[in-house]
Chain A
Amino acid sequence: DAKTTQPPSMDCAEGRAANLPCNHSTISGNEYVYWYRQIHSQGPQYIIHGLKNNETNEMASLIITEDRKSSTLILPHATLRDTAVYYCIVRVNTGTASKLTFGTGTRLQVTL
């Protein structure tokens, strides 16, 4: 699986959009970009994933650059409950289920 690079920490004011970047310059054509988060020692929570098109769900939006070498997770209106460690993970499409390889992630602190 491709290696990812994320900033170790970010701050965001409540109500503002949180934009979390991820670099994955060695991504292959059949690898997906996944985002998970872990809120204070709870089990990780799936957020969103994509291959090459931008994706949006009720939690967030995922913007993937045209060359797929980087992506941005957007939380449109961050709240205090979004304070967590956010993990960007790239997984190969093997056609079967496979493990997740977690990096160090970005610690997002949402403040009043």
Chain B
Amino acid sequence: NAGVMQNPRHLVRRRGQEARLRCSPMKGHSHVYWYRQLPEEGLKFMVYLQKENIIDESGMPKERFSAEFPKEGPSILRIQQVVRGDSAAYFCASSPRTGVPSEQYFGPGTRLTVT
């Protein structure tokens, strides 16, 4: 059973470009979460999605950031017009449908560097 997959693992973008980060959840998991970790800081929640629905986006910056989890295919975190402050590790996690808060399984992360 493959784990959570993220690609690319490393992404370099110039200021003003767009960054697209992909996350494939574990098989059978219908909940996806995105977290961001700035250098030397802890992980911060960004957004929680189920198939075709955004459930909680309370941690998403209001501008330039968007996320989707389509019916088919991976979840996408999109950052438009990137700035140096967007440089961070972005982690995706997934969990199965369940009746109690279940553990989340994390991917290896995408390290975004904005030059």
Contact = CB atoms under 8 A, between A and B. Distances in A.
Contacts of A99: 33, 45, 48, 56, 59
14 contacts: A34-B103, A43-B4, A43-B91, A43-B107, A43-B108, A44-B93, A94-B101, A97-B98, A97-B102, A99-B56, A100-B35, A101-B45, A103-B42, A104-B42
A9 B108 CA distance: 24
Contact of A97 (B31, B107, B109): B31
Report, as a range, how many residues of chain A touch the other chain.
Answer: 20 to 34
Contacts of A32: 100-101
B99 interface: yes
Nearest to A43: B106
Interface of A: 32, 34, 38, 41-46, 49, 87, 91-105
B103 A102 contact: no
Contacts of B102: 97
B4 A95 contact: no
Interface in B52-89: 56, 59, 89
B89 A100 contact: no
A108 to B, nearest CB: 15
B44 interface: yes
Name the 4 nearest CB pairs between A and B, nearest first. Answer: A43-B106, A46-B103, A99-B45, A102-B43
B95 A102 contact: no
B106 to A, nearest CB: 3
B104 A100 contact: yes
A1 to B, nearest CB: 10
Contacts of B108: 42-43
Contacts of A43: 4, 91, 93, 106-109
B114 to A, nearest CB: 18
A41 B88 CA distance: 11
Nearest to B101: A91
Nearest to A38: B43
A65 B55 CA distance: 34
B36 to A, nearest CB: 11
